[in-house]
Amino acid sequence: MCKKPLISMEIRKEQIMAAEKAKKFQQEGNQRDVAAYAQNYGAHREGISMKEVADYYTEWANSNKYDVDLGPDRYQGPKLAAESLCDLISEHRESVRILDIASGTGFLGQELWDRGFRLIDGLDPSEGMIEASRKRNVYSKLICDFMSDKMLNVQTDTYDAAAIAGGMGEGHIPCNALYEMIRIVKPGGYIVIVMREEYLEHVQDYKDKLEPLMKELEISGKWSKLSRKVVPNYSFQNNGVIFIFQKC
């Protein structure tokens, strides 16, 4: 009976720390960085639902500011995810089928295309993001749907690899979506997850849940962890973490 309030207080403390960090960045950053950070922080605000996240990103995409706000000078996720896949797949990239999960306006898809990948599908729940990414002409197919614990309209063992760059966060991809990622990737295929490191503590759905579930899936023989790497300056001067798994 006593543990529930303690857990709630601990989660609340982490959320307050996240808000303080955002405030500190806003105080120290230049005006354009402040505006971009505030826009991004709005998509990850405490208590935001998945539907609200999708609507928020549609508005952001329609404003034509997303690509500027999260350009490579502020956000390294797509580049890191693409480099990770290149390290894993060095040959015949033109025939490797990849799913870009939470594909946004197509930053990762473009990075992959520029590195020789040609069979790239994008998945995003935001209609605005889907329409923006369509203009890049790098995706074979675009799917407007949530990556969650529900089954997608995608056949089992479809992709050689799946990658997420920035799709993890408050109200974003839930823990249990890992099962669906594993289902749609071929045996021997790869799953790359690039996210902000602090979300492992600040997001209630991930704290003491995401990495234990990753471990549980490894123990049960669903996948094997190839690496876990913390990287600096992932986004807005925050550290990122790159998880790489291989489906068994």
pLDDT for 147 equals 98
Q: How far apart are CA 208 and CA 213, in angstroms?
A: 9
How much is the pTM?
0.90
Nearest to 129 by CA among 41, 34, 63, 195: 63
Query: 244: how many CB neighbours lie within 10 A of its CB?
Result: 22
208 pLDDT band, cuts 50/70/90, is: very high
pLDDT for 29 equals 59
Top-confidence residue, 46 or 207: 207
> How does pLDDT run across 5-37, given as a tens digit for each residue?
444 455 455 555 555 655 665 566 566 777 877
Residue at token pair 């197919």 = 141
Q: How far apart are CA 86 and CA 107, in angstroms?
A: 16
pLDDT for 35 equals 80
The residue type found at 36 is A
> How does pLDDT run across 218-248, given as a tens digit for each residue?
999 999 999 999 999 999 889 999 999 999 9
> How does pLDDT run across 100-118, given as a tens digit for each residue?
999 999 999 999 999 999 9
Domains of the chain, by residue range, sit at: 1-248
Going from the C-alpha of 77 to that of each of 82, 91, 203, the distances in angstroms are 9, 23, 18
> How does pLDDT run across 73-89, given as a tens digit for each residue?
889 999 999 999 999 99
Q: How far apart are CA 73 and CA 36, in angstroms?
A: 11
Q: How far apart are CA 80 and CA 193, in angstroms?
A: 10
The third-level CATH classification (topology) of the domain covering 1-248 is: Rossmann fold (3.40.50)
> How does pLDDT run across 134-193, given as a tens digit for each residue?
999 999 999 999 999 999 999 999 999 999 999 999 999 999 999 999 999 999 999 999
